[in-house]
Structure 1
């Protein structure tokens, strides 16, 4: 039987030796996928139960307009999301323009002038630097401009939370401790829910009144539990990542303790109306359906990441995580070692995209990022990282961050095209 690798070789898209490595990567990773299939099935059952418990009906898939007063679909989506995330309440809104917006809304909702934000996982993701105001210049509208102080505790040398140092760093004015679940633009390991839970327990033992907030982007439904199930007070993320299932056209979410979610809602809308407004002129079918399909989309992304990790390890590159290591988010990091390799990799992935496959990406300055960034991924929803995308800052150690993939075959085509382009440009080790 002819397989994908045969087809690519026959059509002149893949060298035979790269096809041989791809077959080895496929063979090596197949046993690993069983665990992810079991996780997918468990989450699918949990989501089905949530939909049924909240009595989701055809009426919830339609449109609403204006203020959205009495919008039962909005409230039901919030309730379903809260059940899935193990939270008291959730705010799932298309009015959030990104995960960064949702995170900023949550932070501004619970922090006040004179409070302190303590980052327990070192320097936050690039787009949060300006939100916090911890860069070289405080951006207008940042937490710093609003009178919120900021400090950070670095991770240990092995890339884990230095819980003792975090607890020692807590001050009377420390109001929120920030944990970033995913690696961001770094090669440190992503945080497991277990590690987050241990951190929450120890922080609360020292300061029960401190709010533990988790940037949950890229990690939803990858493990059995979410941070809200192990002690985190508040989490936030994007709906064009994991929980959108590749269908949500925009949006983000905040979830956690009810009073804190409502504070975020007040920041999103206005005092006095909070979570009770917000219409959906295009309807919420894609949000409900995307959430229902999320376990399958995440499984495909994880299966693609495992294959990518093994293939590029066989090609001689440093990968994180390795194909046989535990995974706590959908991101696969590959250290390529040079800007030229980053550009070739991203251009190869772009060539394999269904949308804008003819476009050639190059590094460029982007709002919210400290260095020029190159991004690739011709997605149906702009910037949808669950579909398939890769991005990288042009700075040492010159790593790419590869995530998503709604179908394993699509991921394989993308990474093989990237490998082939590296070969053609004589950039392989």
Structure 2
């Protein structure tokens, strides 16, 4: 083995370089909030937390298939945290939001998470079941409090991931209950279900299959890809099957195509879409007439135009902050999610501990959260939806956000008894 001898000058140089590296590491650790220690106020610190700042992340879709949804969600959350900061912040600290766009691409989402992981306490918005499902193990290990803007059952079962309302399967079960009780569907009828391949669509399909079997209905399945925008073939198949109603678990573009083609072919059956299957901007397009005919949306949340004081305050504030921007249900989802994330931070602060673990425990201690925006939710069980109550909303061109309540939030007997397939 060759011996390496350092002279005094070389040793001093090496030591100096090492000192610079260590100092830089220390500065980086401070910039990202560090991974431990206690602040001068006695609060235990963690990633994303410094003496005067709390950094939270947003991983959204601002350029892909759900770009309109992502824009509303992100703007609503930015507005909420501006309000929080104007009122003094949280735990004596101002909240800073770090936004990344994945364009509804899983690989970009993985890269965005890797970038944010060391520098934020949690993620207040993460669009896409496929994206969050791909990261579920890492999010759980990192104890990264994450609120997906997705409602697949694959997202249940992790203390770190909070599905904010119902899951897609629960909504489809309650939707079939609505169709049976309110729209004349009866035992023996055929019901169509058009759905995206992957976590979102298959989660919704699990609910429709379960309910169809229990109710004596025949389900006619039509699986599509996220890149499929023309629903002509699917409508033809459902028309040939003589379905009496159609369920849709896809994006707004697909819903608009389905409704437009179906109505043009004289298929006037009720259409019920999952909660991410409609955007009010569609009512400004040629698809509007078709979308205003017996077209419904299943959602755990009340619409932004609902007659609720908290909702009216939010709608007015958003219009003032973002004039001429659509006020849709995504505004409500984003704002309320940021609110319950902040509530967890405040609870953790009361215990003098803002580490990720403490924030998660504070959140999971919440058995009933009701902020005046609709249905109360329970955050204490990670393996269960926060609620099993679904609103049935109807399109209305004159309503703010394009939706009105057709049927108040309801938990059907089938939904109550249903065993949610956690992590599947």
- Tell me the TM-score normalised to structure 1 length: 0.35
- Tell me the TM-score normalised to structure 2 length: 0.35
